[in-house]
Amino acid sequence: MTEADIKRKFNEALKLEKEGKISQAAKIYSEILGMNPKFQKAYLNLGALYSRTGDSENAIKTYQKALELGKTTELYYNLGVELYRLGSLDAAVKALKSSLELNKKYLNSHLLLAYCYKQLDRPDKSELYLKNAIKLDPKNKTAYAALATIYFDTEKWEQALAAANIAIQINPNDPRMEILMTEIHVKLGNYKQSFETLKKVTTTAQGFVQFNDSIKEAKQKPKPEEKVFFDNLEVLTRKKLDEFKNKLTLSKESPQDFEAPEAQDALDLSLMYLFHGDTERALKYLLYAQKNLQENPTSEIG
C-alpha cells in the first residue's frame, strides 16, 4: 500500500474518531500500523482511543511503542496520565519528569506531577509543581484550587485562604472552593465569614438550590406520606430545639455544673432545619457544630 493510501486511511480514522465511532477508528489505526509500524502518529491516536475507553494497560503499551520511534513531550505526558490512573505513581512521576526534560514549560506535566506527589504524601513537592504551573499560567484555576487544598491539608490556614481567594476570583461561584473557604474561616476563628460564605453557597450552587426547591414544593403540596413526615419532623425539631436551648441556658448560668450543647446536638438541629427548608437556621447550627469541634477537637460525633 502506498503512502498516499495510508494517509487516506489515517484521515478516515480521524473522521470516525470525530463521529464517536471509537472501535472502528481503532481498527483502522491498527491496520495502518500493520502496514507501517513506524507511523508514530497512529500509535499516539490509538493510545488516546484506548485511554478514552478506560483501557489504560493497552494505552500504556501503545505509547511505549510510540516512544521507541521517538521521544516527545506529549507522549511522555500521556504515558504519565495512564500510569497515574493505574496508581503506578512512581512510574508516572518518572514519565512526567521525562516530558519536562524535553519541554520544561509543559503546563499539564507540572499539574499532574503535583497530583502525583499529593498522592505520595509529599506536599512540599506538590506545592513546588503547582507554583511552577502558576508561573506558566498565572490565572490557572486548577493550580490555585489544588494549592489551597495542599495548604489546608498541611494546616497553613492563611496561605490556604489566600490561594482559595485567588481561585474564586478566577472562577467565581465555585461551590467546592467556597465550601473549603468556610472550613478555612472556621480554622482561623472567622465564624461570621464562614457563615456568610456558606449562606452564599446554598443560595447559588445548583445542587443546594434544587434540593431547597424540592423541599419547598413538597411542603406546599405534600402527599399523605410526606405530610406525616413533615408533621413528625416538626414535633422532633421543637423537642430538640427545647433541649438545645435548655442546655445552653444552664451552661451559661452554671458552667461548673452543666455542659454546653455538643456538636452532635447542633448537627441534628441543622439537619432538621435543612429538611424544613430553613437554610439559614440550618447553617447557624452547622456553624455552632463547627465552632464546637474547633474548640473541642476531641469531641465525638455519632
Residue 197 or residue 113, greater confidence: 113
Residue 1: its pLDDT value, please? Answer: 61
Residue-averaged pLDDT of the chain: 84
> Cα(190)–Cα(51) distance, rounded to whole angstroms?
45
- Whole-structure pTM value: 0.72
Inside any domain, residue 145: no
With a cut of 80, say whether residue 22 has pLDDT above it.
yes
pLDDT in tens, 32-42: 888 878 888 88
Q: Judge whether 46 and 33 are in contact, CB under 8 Å.
A: yes
Please give the residue range of the domain that contains residue 215.
Answer: 211-295
Is 5 within the bounds of a domain?
A: no
Identify whether 248 is part of a domain. Answer: yes
Residue 167 maps to a domain: no
Q: What is the mean pLDDT of residues 276-284?
A: 77
| Separation CA 43–CA 32 (nearest Å) | 9
Which has the higher per-residue pLDDT, 217 or 185? 185
CA distance 46 to 62: 7
- Whether 216 maps to a domain, the answer reads yes
Cβ atoms within 10 Å of 139's Cβ, excluding its own: 11
What's the DSSP call for residue 173?
Answer: T
Q: What span, in angstroms and rounded, lies between the C-alpha atoms of 172 and 88? A: 34
Between residues 289 and 241, which one has the greater pLDDT?
241
Read off the pLDDT band of 286 (50, 70, 90): confident
Output DSSP code: residue 301: -
* Domain membership flag for residue 202: no
Looking up cell 432545619, which residue turns up?
A: 273
Question: How much is the average pLDDT of 70-78?
Answer: 94
In a domain, residue 150? The reply is no
Separation between Cα atoms, residue 2 and residue 84, nearest integer Å: 39
pLDDT at residue 31 greater than cutoff 90: no
Residue among 190, 126, 132 at smallest CA distance from 161: 190
Q: What integer is the mean pLDDT of 88-104?
A: 97
Burial class (CB in 10 A: 0-12, 13-18, 19+), 223: exposed
The domain tally of the chain equals 1
Residue 249 domain-assigned (yes or no): yes
Encode pLDDT of 223-234 as tens digits: 777 677 677 778
Please tell me the number of Cα atoms within 13 Å of 106 on its side-chain side.
21
